[in-house]
Structure 1
Amino acid sequence: MAVIAIPQSDKVQGPQAFASQTLSGWRWRRHDKQQEQNEWTPCKHDKPTTEIFTDLIDAGRIPDPFLDENEKLVQWVGEADWEYECSFKATANTASAARQGLVFDGLDTFAAVYLNDKLILESNNMFHTHRVDVQGTLREGANNLCIVFRSALNEGKAIEAKLGQLKCFNGDSSRVHVRKAQYHYGWDWGPTFLTCGPYREIRLETYDAAALYDVFADAVVSDDLQEAKLDISFAADVPKDVVVQATVTSPSGWSILLSTSLPAGATSGSLSTILVQPELWCPMNHGPQVFYTVKLEVFAAGEESSSSSAVLATSTTRVGIRRVRLVQEPLLDAPGTSFYFEVNNEAVYISGSNWIPRHSFLTTLTDDDYRQSVDECVASNQNMLRVWGGGLYEHDAFYDQCDERGVLVWQDFMFACGVYPCHDSFDQSVKREAEDQVRRMRRFCSIVLYAGNNEDYQVAEQLSLDWDQNDNSGDWTVTNFPARTLYERTLPQVVTTFSPQVPYHPGSPWGGVNTEDATMGDIHMWNIWHGTQEPYQNWPKLTGRFVSEFGMMSFPPRRSVEKYVTDPTQRYPQSSVLDLHNKADGGERRLGSYILENIRLKSVDLDSWIYASQLMQAECLSAAVRSCRRQWKGRRREYCGGQLVWQINDCWPVSSWALIDFYGERKLAFYAVKRHSAPLVVDIGRTYVAVEEGKNTLEALKPRRSHIDVWVANASLSQHVADITVTLFDIVSGAVVLTNTLKGETLTANETTELLRGLAVDNKMAVQAVLRDASGTVLSRASDWPQPLKHVSLASPKDSGVKVIVFDGRVEITTNLPIKGLELSASPDKKVTWSDNGVDVYPGDVYSIDADGLSRTDTVDVRYYGM
C-alpha cells in the first residue's frame, strides 16, 4: 500500500481529508489466569512494532538468548501467552470522521484484538493484513488497544492433535499447521525462539470524503521494447462523486496527466496510457535502475482544478518498468530444457544467494540494516537474492533496496521442508495470505519469480507420497500430498490475477522427472554436505540447469566467536557452547570430515579450526561457482542459467553455510564468491585423468595425471578483447615451469569463452591465469592448486618471502613462492573493510587490496595455508 498521510488541524474545515496515525507506545505482560495481577511493563522504546523476546531482554527478565547456552533457558517464553496494549488519542476530527479504520500490517500469530474492551479482530495467520471498521467503537479522546497473543506452539499442537501429525524436517511437527515464520521453530542453522507480538505496523486511518488503497501500476512491455502499456489500478472508498487524477513522470522528467471520474460508492478505479520508447529498469551490470513516478490525487467532482488544499486523498508510488521472462526451452547438444531469466530481452546469468531472515527477532531490524545487507550482496558481485520459503515475505525496505541496486529477487511462498495440509480453512487462509502479500509486493520491479515452496516436492519424494505428475486434476486434497493443490492451483491463480507479469514456479527444486533431474527446472545440489557427501572437487559433474541451493559450512571469524561465547574456557571447537551454536544434523561430524579430507592441520585450536573451515568453504564455493558459470555457453546453450549460494546471511551467531555471519563479518567464502561472480572473470579447472577408485586397486597406484582448462566468463553485454597469461609454478621452489600467453582473445558478450584445453600439469604445480586489457591493466586473476590441499608439498614459511606493505586505505602483497589462502586481519578494535581476502598470491605479481578504514600506522596480521 502506498498511502501518504495528510496532517490535519484540530479544527474541522469542511470534509476531512485522509489522515493516518501510526500507533506506538506499547506495554506488555504475561496473559494467564492471574493476568489482572500481572503488572504492565512499558517497552523501553517507542517504536510502532515490537515482540516479546526483545521486550523481555530489555526488561532484564531473560538473559540474551544469543549468548552462550542461553537458548535453553528461554524456551518457556514460546509456551506462554502474552498481552500487549497501547493508548492513543483521537481528535474531534478523527472521532467524527465518516470512515474510521484500524489497519494491521501483521500480527504474530494467534491474536485477539480489543479496542476499548470490544473484540474487533481475531487472527491466526502472521502473513494476513487486516482493515477493521471501528466506527462506533473509536471514541474522542483516550482509546485503548489491547492484543492477546496465544502461544503458537500450544495452538499448533492442539490443531495437530485434532487433525493429525504431518511429517516435516526441522522444527516441531506442529509448525506445518501454523501460518507463522517457520524458522521460528528452529532450523539447521537457526535457534528455536517462538516469539509473538505486533511485528508490523498498526495504523488508525480516518477520512470523510475519499481514500485510495492498493495502488498498482502494471506495465506491459511490448516484445520489441518500443512501448509499454501502463495500467494503473486502485481500490477506493468514495462516499461522494470524485475525480482521480494521475500524474505519470518519467525518469528523464517529462509528465503525462490522466484523469477518471468515480461515482459515490465506487470501490475501485483504473487509468491507462501508452508509453512510447519506455525508459527501462535493468538488473545490475545490465543497465540503469530508473523509475517512473505515479502520483494519484482525489478531488471532489468539479474541484479538480482547485488548489492543493482541495485534495481529498493522495498516493505516490514509483514504478520500475521491465519485461521479465523465465526461459525454459530445448537446448542444443544437451537433454532437457534451459532455465534462465531474461530481462528486457537480454539473458541474465544469475550468480546470487539465498536469503533467510536477517534476525530471529524481526522488529530489531532497521531500514539501514536492509540497505547494508543488499549492499553486501552487490559488493560480492551477486545479482539475485532468493527469499527462502521458511522465513517471511520481507519488509518493504528489503525490496526497495533490491529495486535501487538492481538485485533480482526470487520470492518463495512461505512453505518449507514439510507436508502441509490443505483443508478448506487452511486453503482459504493461504489464498488470503497470498493475495495480501502479492498485492503488497507487486510494486517491486526486482521480483522476477514467485515459487510455491521450498523442498516440499522433495519431501514428497522422500516419503513416497502420492505425486503423479500425469495427474493434472488440480485438486489433490484427498491424497497424502494435499498441499500440491496450494502449489499448483491456489498460488498460481493468485499470481496470475494480481501480478501477471511475473512468472510462477511450483516449487524449488522442481522440474523434470523428479526434483533431482539436472536437465530441467532447478535443483538443490546437496550431495555435497548432505546426501552422498561427495568431495567438492566433483562439482563439475554436479551442475544443473539452475542450481538454486548449495553450500558448505564453516565457523564464523574469531572476533564473532568472542562476542557470543563469553566464557573463555568454552572457546575451543568442540565446546558445548559452540556445539549448541551449530544446528546442523551431524554438523560437527560432517564439518570435521570435509576439513580432514582436504586441509592439513597442525593444530585443532580455535584459530586453526576457524581458518581451516573457512578456507575449505571458500574452496568448495569457488569450485561450485566456476563450474556453473562455465556452462553459460550462449544462445540455446544455456546449460546452466545460474546458481544461488546457501546462504548469504545468518539470523543469530552460529556456525553455518553463510557468507556473512550474524555480526556482519565476512568469511573467506564471501571473497571467493565475489571473485568468481565478477562480470568478467578468467577461471581455471583441473581434471585428473587417472582417478583413484579405491586405495587397494591397481588404478589407485598409478601416478595421478592431470590437465587444466582455462576460460573467461563474460556476464556483461559488451564484447571484450584481452590478453591472458597462464603460468605454471613449482609450489616448493616458486620457479616458473611454463608460461603460455594468449594475445588479443575475443571474449563474446554474455557467455563463456573457452581459451585453453588440456594443458598438462602435475601435483607439484600451482597455476595462475591473469586477464589483462590492451593497456596491461589486470581485469581478473584465477588460481588453481592440486587437490586435495592436504597432499600438497609446501616450502617452509620462512622461505615464502611474504611481504605486506600498509598504506592509508590499502595494502600491497608480494611473495617469493606460491601462497594459498592468504588472510589479512587488522586488530580487533579496528573496523576494516577489505576489497578482497583469502587470496592466492604468486611470485612476480603485486596484489593491491583496498582496505577502507585502514591507516598506514596500523598493524596487519597475515595467515596463509601451511603457515
Structure 2
Amino acid sequence: MAPLTRIPVDKGWQFKQSATLANNTASTYLPVSQFPTVAHLDLLHHGLIKDPYIDTNELDSLWVNDANFTYRALLPSIPAPSSSKIHLVFEGLDTLCFVYLNSTLILESKNMHILHRVDITSPLQKVSGKEVELRLEFKNAPEYAKKEMKRIGYKGNGTDVHFGGPERLFVRKAQYHWGWDWGPALNTSGPWKPVYLEIFEHRISELLVRQEVSADLKSATVKITGSVEAGEAGKEVELEVKAPNGDCVTKETIKTTENGTFSTELNIENPDLWYPFTYGGQPLYTVSASLPGLDTQERKIGFRRLRLLQNKLKKEEGTSFTFEINNIRVFCGGSCWIPGDLLLPRFTPSRYRSWLSLAKSGNQTMIRVWGGGLVESDDFYAIADELGILVWQDFLFACGDYPASDDFCEAVKGEAEEQVKRVGHHASLVIWAGNNEDYMLAERWGWEYDVNDQEGPWDHTNFPARKIYERVLPEICERLAGDVPYWRSSPYGGKTSNDLTIGDTHIWNVWHGKQSPYQAYKSYLSRFISEFGFESAPSLRTLHQAITKPSERHWQSLTFDAHDKGPGHQRRYGMYSGENFRFRFNPLRDFVYCSQFLQAEAMKYAYNHWRREFRGEGEENCSGILVWQLNDIWPGTSWALVDVNLQRKPAFYITKRALSKLVVGMERIVTGATPYMVTSYPEPKEKVQIWAVSGYLKALDAVLKLKAFDIESGREVELPEGERERKVSVRENGTTEIGELSIGTEAGKTVVVAYLEDAKTGEQLARWVDWPEPLKFVVFKKGVEVKIEVGEREKEVKISADAPVKGVVLSVPTEEGDDAVWEDNFVDLVPGEVVRVGVDGLKGRKVQARWLGDWEGEAGFEL
C-alpha cells in the first residue's frame, strides 16, 4: 500500500476575461501573476488596471467587479496505482465557479468560505494517457447575488445596508469585498486558495481534537473523533499525544467502526498549561492520528481551562462578561481585526506574523476577528497560539438583514461546521459570536424583533436570520466547539443588544451617533467593550504612497477624500479638534500630527477610565476593551491604530502603555461650580484622583511619587509634603484606589506627573502625566526646546525639555527613507526628567520631533 500523496496544481495557470464588457481587456489567455490568485492581481500584473490602492484608481477598476473570468491549467501527470483514489481539492474558490475537467462539469461552487473535494478517479481513468485541462469559470458575485436576492426575496427595506447593496447578504462571500467605511470596493474572483491532487488508498478524512482541563488544573482530557475514507471496519488508527519537547505523553491504538469512524478520550496528568502571554507560557502539544504507512493528521493544541463568567456584580447593575483562563480572570485589552488585504492570495504567513507580533508588542491580549471578513487562515490562529493572544471570532455576517431560507440556512450550516472543525482546536480561540451588529441594527431600524419571543419561528418577520443566530449556529457550536462558548452577536445582551450592564457593547456615540465628546467615554462604561474607535490619518509616508500628485496632498483634496471612506469625517476632525486643542490642518504633515493626536487622546481617555473598572473579583465592571481597529487594508485614513505599512500611530503607543502590566492613572475631578449662567469657563478641577491597575497575580509594595509644574514657565510647583510621596500596596489583578491630590486654584496651569516605583529596588514601574482640559486653554512655554540625544549604538534616544511638553512624536525625516521602529512614542515631557525611548533602524539618520503647538509662533500663529 502506498502513502497518501499530495501534488500541487500550481503551475502553468492562465486566465482571461470570459464575458464581453465595454472594456474587455483580457480577451485572450495570459499567464497568471501567481498562484493562488484573483483576477485583480492578474490584471494588475499585466498592466490592464492601475493599482486600485493608489490615487483614485479604485473608480477606474470598478468594472472588474462585474466581469467574468476563466482560469485554466493542465493537470500534472499522475502515476497512480490502480487501487488508489484520486481527489481534486480546492481549498477556496471565490465565489461563483463552474469547474470542468476538459468538457465535463465536475463542480459548481457558490461559497468562498468552504473547501471542495471532488473524486475524479473515474473521469481520469477514461482519459488515461491524454492531457487533461482543468478549467474554472468564474461568474461575478454581484450579478449572482442580485438574482439570489430576487429568488429568495429581500425582507428588509434597504436602510439596514450601509456597505454595498443588500444583494451582498445573499451570497456567501467576504462582505467587505463590497467596500466598507475603511476600504475600497474590490469584488474579487478567482482561485484564491491552493488547488491540489490527493492520491490515496486510505486516508483520515476528518480529525476533530478538543481538550478539557479539570477545575483543579491537575489533569486534562483529550477528546478525539475522526473518520477514515475507503477504510473497512476494524481499521487500526494510532493516536499519540506528544509534549512540546517532542516526547510521547500517551499513545493508543483503536479500531474504526463499521462506518469508518473512531473516537476516544486520552487522559493527561499534570499538563503544562497554555496561558495568554500576560500570565504565562504557551506550550503546545501535538495530537496525531495515523494509518501506519498511509496517512497521518496532526493538530497542535494548548491545554487551558476556559470559562466565560457572567456573574452578579457587587456594586454595579447587571453581570460581568469576563474570560477566565486557568482560573485567572483576564482583562482582555486589544483590538479588532479586519482582513489584511482585499487581494487575499498575496497576504502571506509572514504578514500575519508581523501583524500579530506587533499586537503583542503593544500588550494586546485579545484580537477580535470581525464578521464582515473571514475565518482567517490556519496560520493566523497557529501564530496566535504561539504568541499567547486570545482570539474572539465572529461568524461571517455583518451589518445586514440576512435571509434564512431553507437552502441558505443549509449552506450556512455546512460553512459553519467546516470552519468550527478547521480552527476550533486552537488554544487561542475563546469565543464564537453569531454576527457583527445585526441585532443592534434590528433595534435601530425597527425590524420585527421581539426579544421576549425565544421560540420562533421567525420566517414571517423581516428579521428571519434569528434562525441562523439562535438555532443553526448554537447547535453547531454545542456539537463541535468543545469548551469555546457561543454568543449570539456582537454586541449582544440585556434589554437591548447594547445594554451597558450585560454582555458586550459597541460604543459608537463618540465619533458616530450622537458624536459625543470623547470625554463622554466614561459614561459609556460597560461590561465588555468589543468595539469603539476614533479616526486619524496614516503616516505621512503612507499618504504620499496613496496620493502621488503633490497638488492633491492636502486633507481637503479629492484624492484624500477618496482614501477616507468614513462618513462625515471632515466635519468631525474640525469639531473634535476645536473642542480640545489649538490645531493646524495644513500642510499635510500637520493634519497627520493633529488627527493622530486627537485619536490618541481619545484612546487615552477611554482606556484610562475603562480599565480602572476591572476592580477584582465581583467588581469586574469592565473586563475588556477592543478598539476598532488594529490594522488597515490600504493606504487610507481610518480608525486603525497602525497603518497598512505597519507604521504605528500615537494611539498604538497610548494603548500599549494603557495595557501595561502595571499602570498608574489619574483623573481631575470637578471641585466646584459657579451658581451663575456663564459660558466658556471650564468647571474648577482642583483635585486629582489617583489609582493603580495591576495585571500581576501577586500584590506589590510600591511608592507613589508626585510632582507638579507650571506649564508656561516650567517652574516646579510645591506640593504639600505629605502628598509628594506615599507608600502603596497594589492589589493583584485589579485596581487599587490610591487617593486624591489637591492641586489648588492654579490647576488650569499645572501639569502633574505620577511615578510608581518598586518599594525595594526603586525601579520605576509606571508613569502618568496629567494635564488640565481642554488643552486649547493651556498656554505652553514660548520657544520650549525638546532636546534629543541618540545613544552610542543607536538603540536608544533620550529626550528632555525645560518645560512641560505634550505629545512628542519622534521620527526619521520622510526624505531619509523608511522610518525607524520606535519602542515608545507620543511622549509627554516634564522638566528635570530624561525619557529613554528604544529604537531600531536609525542607521545614522537624523531624529526629528513634533509636539503639540510646535507650530505656534510661525506666521499666522503668533501668540
Q: TM-score range by the shorter chain?
A: over 0.9
Which amino acid letter does the alignment assign opposite residue 383 of structure 2? Q
- d(CA) in 2 for partners of 1:37 and 1:555? 36
- d(CA) in 2 for partners of 1:772 and 1:102? 63
Deviation per CA, 1:524-580: give whole Å up to 9, x if none: 011110111111122222210000101110011111111111101100110000000
Which amino acid letter does the alignment assign opposite residue 88 of structure 1? L
Deviation per CA, 1:462-488: give whole Å up to 9, x if none: 111122121111432221110111111
**1:826 and 2:806 equivalent?**
no
1:74 is aligned to 61
1:302 is aligned to none
Q: TM-score, normalised by structure 2?
A: 0.94
8 Å Cα contact 1:712-1:755 kept in structure 2: yes
1:668 is aligned to 650
8 Å Cα contact 2:585-2:594 kept in structure 1: no
Deviation per CA, 1:467-513: give whole Å up to 9, x if none: 21211114322211101111111011111111121001000110011
- d(CA) in 1 for partners of 2:566 and 2:585? 24
- d(CA) in 2 for partners of 1:816 and 1:152? 61
1:671-750 equivalences in 2 (<5 Å):
671-690=653-672, 697-698=677-678, 704-739=684-719, 740-750=723-733
Q: Which runs of 5+ in 1 are unaligned?
A: 1-14, 300-310
8 Å Cα contact 1:537-1:787 kept in structure 2: no
1:89 is aligned to 76
2:833 is aligned to 845
**1:581 and 2:563 equivalent?**
yes
Deviation per CA, 1:241-289: give whole Å up to 9, x if none: 53111121123534212101236x6432123221112211111111110
- d(CA) in 2 for partners of 1:686 and 1:704? 9
**SS in structure 2 at match of 1:137:** helix
- d(CA) in 1 for partners of 2:431 and 2:419? 14
Task: After TM superposition, give the deviation of residue 678 of structure 1 in Å.
Answer: 0.7
**SS in structure 1 at match of 2:123:** coil
8 Å Cα contact 1:731-1:817 kept in structure 2: yes
Q: 2:845 aligns with which of 841, 845, 858?
A: 858
1:249 is aligned to 242
Deviation per CA, 1:347-369: give whole Å up to 9, x if none: 00010000000111111111100
- d(CA) in 1 for partners of 2:674 and 2:411? 55
1:190 is aligned to 183
Q: 1:313 aligns with which of 276, 287, 295?
A: 295
- d(CA) in 1 for partners of 2:674 and 2:136? 65
**1:126 and 2:142 equivalent?**
no
1:368-387 equivalences in 2 (<5 Å):
368-387=350-369
**1:763 and 2:748 equivalent?**
yes
8 Å Cα contact 2:240-2:248 kept in structure 1: no
Task: After TM superposition, give the deviation of residue 701 of structure 1 in Å.
Answer: 5.3
Q: 1:815 aligns with which of 790, 801, 809?
A: 801
Which amino acid letter does the alignment assign opposite residue 40 of structure 1? Y
- d(CA) in 2 for partners of 1:148 and 1:690? 72
1:247-286 equivalences in 2 (<5 Å):
247-251=240-244, 253-262=247-256, 266-286=259-279
**SS in structure 2 at match of 1:93:** coil
- d(CA) in 1 for partners of 2:674 and 2:453? 45
8 Å Cα contact 2:239-2:287 kept in structure 1: yes
2:858 is aligned to none
**Residue 364 and residue 242 in structure 1: after superposition, are their counterparts in 2 closer, same or farther (change >3 A)?**
same
Q: Which runs of 5+ in 2 are unaligned?
A: 855-863
Deviation per CA, 1:100-141: give whole Å up to 9, x if none: 212222111111111222111111111122221112112545
Name which of structure 1's ranges 570-579 and 127-136 shifts more when overlaid on structure 2.
127-136
**1:55 and 2:48 equivalent?**
no
**Residue 692 and residue 378 in structure 1: after superposition, are their counterparts in 2 closer, same or farther (change >3 A)?**
farther
Could you tell me the percent identity over the aligned residues? 37
Which amino acid letter does the alignment assign opposite residue 249 of structure 2? S
1:469 is aligned to 451
8 Å Cα contact 2:673-2:683 kept in structure 1: no
**Residue 830 and residue 128 in structure 1: after superposition, are their counterparts in 2 closer, same or farther (change >3 A)?**
closer
**Residue 577 and residue 603 in structure 1: after superposition, are their counterparts in 2 closer, same or farther (change >3 A)?**
closer
May I ask how many residue pairs the two structures share in their alignment?
A: 833
- d(CA) in 1 for partners of 2:786 and 2:262? 73
**1:232 and 2:224 equivalent?**
yes
Which amino acid letter does the alignment assign opposite residue 854 of structure 1? L
Which amino acid letter does the alignment assign opposite residue 752 of structure 1? T
Deviation per CA, 1:608-648: give whole Å up to 9, x if none: 11100001100000111111110001010000011000000
2:626 is aligned to 644
1:304 is aligned to none
Task: After TM superposition, give the deviation of residue 741 of structure 1 in Å.
Answer: 3.8
**Residue 662 and residue 701 in structure 1: after superposition, are their counterparts in 2 closer, same or farther (change >3 A)?**
closer
Which amino acid letter does the alignment assign opposite residue 226 of structure 1? K
8 Å Cα contact 2:25-2:48 kept in structure 1: no
- d(CA) in 1 for partners of 2:739 and 2:205? 59
8 Å Cα contact 2:221-2:266 kept in structure 1: yes
Q: TM-score, normalised by structure 1?
A: 0.93
**Residue 460 and residue 245 in structure 1: after superposition, are their counterparts in 2 closer, same or farther (change >3 A)?**
same
Q: 2:52 aligns with which of 65, 74, 91?
A: 65
Task: After TM superposition, give the deviation of residue 149 of structure 1 in Å.
Answer: 0.9
- d(CA) in 2 for partners of 1:813 and 1:235? 63
1:384-403 equivalences in 2 (<5 Å):
384-403=366-385
8 Å Cα contact 1:692-1:700 kept in structure 2: no
8 Å Cα contact 2:97-2:138 kept in structure 1: yes
8 Å Cα contact 1:692-1:699 kept in structure 2: no
Deviation per CA, 1:279-318: give whole Å up to 9, x if none: 111111111100111222213xxxxxxxxxxx11112221
Deviation per CA, 1:43-89: give whole Å up to 9, x if none: 133x3x11011111001100010110001100000111111112222
- d(CA) in 2 for partners of 1:140 and 1:633? 71
2:594 is aligned to 612
- d(CA) in 1 for partners of 2:660 and 2:530? 19
2:518 is aligned to 536
1:192-207 equivalences in 2 (<5 Å):
192-207=185-200
